[in-house]
Amino acid sequence: MMMRNLLLYLRYDGSAYHGWQVQENAVTVQQTLQDAIEAVFGARLPVTGCSRTDAGVHARTFCVNFRTDSAIACERVPYALNAHLPDDIGVYACRVVPDDFHARYSCVSKRYVYVIRNSPFRDPFAVGRATTVPFPLDENMLHRQAQAFLGTHDFAAFAAAGGSVEDTVRTVSDACVRREGETVLFEVQADGFLYHMVRIMVGTLLDIASGKLPQGCIPQILASLDRSRAGVTAPPQGLYLQSVQYDFRDVE
């Protein structure tokens, strides 16, 4: 049979997983997906993910590719895999892509959303799915601060230690803060993200909101290239990989 390169689109709640990538002595999304692929395709196939999400981080869209000589039709693949996946992971599309397609390196841009529950009262339904901030947030002020992230910058000050990349320059095409009732959302799109970059962006905005950092400080933090100048790293539970863009029409 001819070898095909298949691209999967999936969603997952990351609460029960130690991130995407396979780890020893820890349950991960990649391992769980590979178990399902093995059950359907009869072999433990290498799977390439579009990102390396951390423990507790969620994805409304996550893309993976793998190669198989199986003739199973693409439209049947999501149904077959979902029959072997737990309820917190769901495949919703499959397509054949060129042989040189790589879920991570072929990516044009990614969009993340960070969900903040802005209330002094605990919401049991938000536990593990949002970060609670009890003091009032001025979303309009935070939106103005976030505009400093736009453009091409060296984001070394917004990268946690432990990342493997040497080039810390990224281009942010969109950054916004908006409110929906008691929920404040930070959305950011870029051609790539550094280790903990979005969570440090959010932590910096929250430190500005609390007065720990002054308004207008983000350009100086970027210029410093110094991680210690930026804010705290926000918790992972509020972070969602929202969408992944390639140079072909995306699956809605």
SS3 state of residue 29: helix
Instruction: Report the number of distinct structural domains present in the chain.
Output: 2
**pLDDT at residue 175 is higher than 80:** yes
Q: Which residue has the tokens 């990614």?
A: 110
> What are the pLDDT digits (tens) for 183-221?
999 999 999 999 999 999 999 999 999 999 999 999 999
- Say how many Å lie between the first and final Cα of the chain, rounded: 30
Q: State whether 170 and 87 are in the same domain.
A: no
185, 250 contact by CB (below 8 A): no
pLDDT of residue 249: 55
* 54 a catalytic residue: yes
Q: How far apart are CA 56 and CA 12, in angstroms?
A: 10
β-sheet bridge partners, residue 240: 58, 113
Q: State whether 184 and 205 are in the same domain.
A: yes
**Signed CA dihedral, 233, 135, 229, 218: sign only:** positive
Q: State whether 150 and 229 are in the same domain.
A: yes
> What are the pLDDT digits (tens) for 20-73?
988 888 999 999 999 999 999 999 999 999 998 899 999 999 999 999 999 999
250 in any annotated domain: no
Which one of 35, 54, 87, 123 is the catalytic residue?
54
**pLDDT at residue 252 is higher than 50:** no
251 in any annotated domain: no
Q: State whether 113 and 102 are in the same domain.
A: no
252 in any annotated domain: no
196 in any annotated domain: yes
Tokens, residue 69:
């000589």
Q: Using alpha carbons, list the distances in angstroms from residue 199 to 129, 150, 187, 211.
A: 14, 16, 11, 18
230 in any annotated domain: yes
Q: State whether 184 and 101 are in the same domain.
A: no
**pLDDT at residue 146 is higher than 80:** yes
Query: How deeply is 166 buried, as exposed, middle or buried, from its count of CB atoms within 10 A (0-12, 13-18, 19+)?
Result: exposed
Q: Which residue has the tokens 């909101």?
A: 209
pLDDT of residue 151: 97
Count Cβ atoms below 10 Å from residue 223 Cβ, excluding itself: 12
Look up the domain containing 229 and give its range: 109-244
